[in-house]
Structure 1
Amino acid sequence: MTAVVLALLFAGGAVTVASAQREEAPSTPASHSADAGFARDMSVHHQQAVEMSFIVRDRTTDEEVRRLAYDIANTQANQRGMMLGWLDMWALPKVESGTEPMAWMDMGGHGHAGPSDGALMPGMATRTELDRLRKADGKAAEILYLQLMTDHHVGGVHMARGCVEKCSVEVERNLAQGMVDAQESEISLMAHLLAKRGAKPRA
């Protein structure tokens, strides 16, 4: 009899623990959450980095810059796919109308007053700057790309740090921290490449 009672108590305890674990498990992020906001906004941010990298690839023959552009395009295209995949998995829209970019950071876009010539978020190039990059060649294209991408990375690092602080999904926070580490390293590399060309970052 004692053994039966103990078995029932153990089973009941196991059910209680399992129930508690289910209750503590993170739910699917809400559409207005930092997790969803970061996935949406960084996907847009990354898309422009990929675009700029493909542009400069065709505007220069310099192997250092072309290799950097390839690395950035490949890395950010893959990360963008992951973030859009999460939005699909969470059954959330990839674009949320009526919400300003980076509103999830509670900073109003870090002082960004809204779209300026197509620059939706801090660090993003304007349409005019992208047109200049498309028309530039050789060293001029390299310098402009490195300057624009440095600005782009600074804005991206700021946003990724916001996710590290505010996102609730661990795998997303880890991705964001990886972005911070990689892009800060690339900012240093781009400063070096600019110096070799007698130039420097714009900011």
Structure 2
Amino acid sequence: MNGTVIRRLPVLIATGAVLALVAVLVVWWRTTEGAVNASTPGNRSAEAGFARDMAVHHQQAVETSFIVRDRTGDEDVRTLAYDVINTQANQRGMLLGRLEGWGLSKTSAEAPMTWMGHGAAHGAKDGSLMPGMATNTQLDQLRKADGKDAEVLYLRLMTAHHKGGVDMARAAVKEAGDARLKRLAQTMVDGQQAELDLMAAMLARRGAGAER
């Protein structure tokens, strides 16, 4: 090792130490900044309320679709039912996963839609906890129906269900601050609106309207 290198060695070591320290500080700063700026939704937030309510809303859509699957042989209706089952079961899992990630309970003692400022205004009864949800009586009617009658009833129930779900999802897009939840809510709006158009056409082909 020549003299020049020997003389420069302490400088190189010191420079390396400084660069290493800078790298550590940058990582620490970014980590700290992320921790400070990251906001976890609270228990009474729009994010938490929407996730809980829509998980319940989706669960009934899945249940209703399983019922009609066994009440008709029509491939179009059965395909729609399968799509609703797969999509909404998956989205429900995402909603519950967000709640778990936030460390929040999956249930609440508050009335559904409190996060929207509605509270008990819906007047939940007979299993219909939120706008668009079918009553237990209507689900029993679907279980007893066959063929075209089952198809029309399912399409009407799911049309009302989707309309209620779209309104809730739009409120979440507007009110929520969590970016991932907002994207999921917008996906629901887009997907369910497309299915509303499809169901309107399916009802028309059966000489029926969307009224319940």
Query: One fold, TM greater than 0.5?
Result: yes
| Residue matched to 2:103 | 91
3-state SS of 1:93 partner: coil
The number of residues matched between the two structures is 197
Q: Does structure 1 residue 105 correspond to structure 2 residue 105? A: no
Question: How far apart, in 1, do the equivalents of 2:149 and 2:74 lie?
Answer: 12
Larger Rg: 2
Question: How far apart, in 2, do the equivalents of 1:162 and 1:58 lie?
Answer: 34
Identity fraction in percent: 58
| Residue matched to 2:6 | none
Question: How far apart, in 1, do the equivalents of 2:154 and 2:165 lie?
Answer: 16
Structure 1 letter corresponding to 2:167: H
What stretches of structure 1 of length at least 5 have no aligned partner? none
Q: Does structure 1 residue 58 correspond to structure 2 residue 70? A: yes
Shift of 1:139: 0.1
Q: Does structure 1 residue 67 correspond to structure 2 residue 76? A: no
3-state SS of 1:160 partner: helix
Structure 1 letter corresponding to 2:175: K
| Residue matched to 2:196 | 187
Shift of 1:21: 4.2
3-state SS of 1:44 partner: helix
TM-score computed with the length of structure 1 as normaliser: 0.88
TM-score computed with the length of structure 2 as normaliser: 0.85
Higher mean C-alpha deviation, range 79-88 or range 169-178: 79-88
Residue deviations 1:52-80, cap 9 Å, x none? 00000000000000000000011000111
Question: How far apart, in 1, do the equivalents of 2:75 and 2:31 lie?
Answer: 56
Q: 1:25 aligns with which of 6, 31, 38?
A: 38
Residue deviations 1:129-167, cap 9 Å, x none? 001100000000000000000000000000001110111
* Misfit runs of 4+, over 6 Å: 10-13
Shift of 1:25: 2.1
Q: 2:184 aligns with which of 161, 175, 178?
A: 175
Q: Does structure 1 residue 115 correspond to structure 2 residue 121? A: no
Q: 2:168 aligns with which of 153, 156, 159?
A: 159
Q: 1:124 aligns with which of 133, 136, 139?
A: 133
Shift of 1:18: 5.6
What stretches of structure 2 of length at least 5 have no aligned partner? 1-10
Residue deviations 1:154-187, cap 9 Å, x none? 0000000111011121111100000000000000
Question: How far apart, in 1, do the equivalents of 2:56 and 2:185 lie?
Answer: 15
| Residue matched to 1:38 | 50
| Residue matched to 2:3 | none
Structure-2 change in CA distance of 1:79 and 1:16 (3 Å): closer
Q: Does structure 1 residue 77 correspond to structure 2 residue 86? A: no
Residue deviations 1:79-119, cap 9 Å, x none? 1111112212222111111x01010012336x41x322110
Shift of 1:23: 2.0
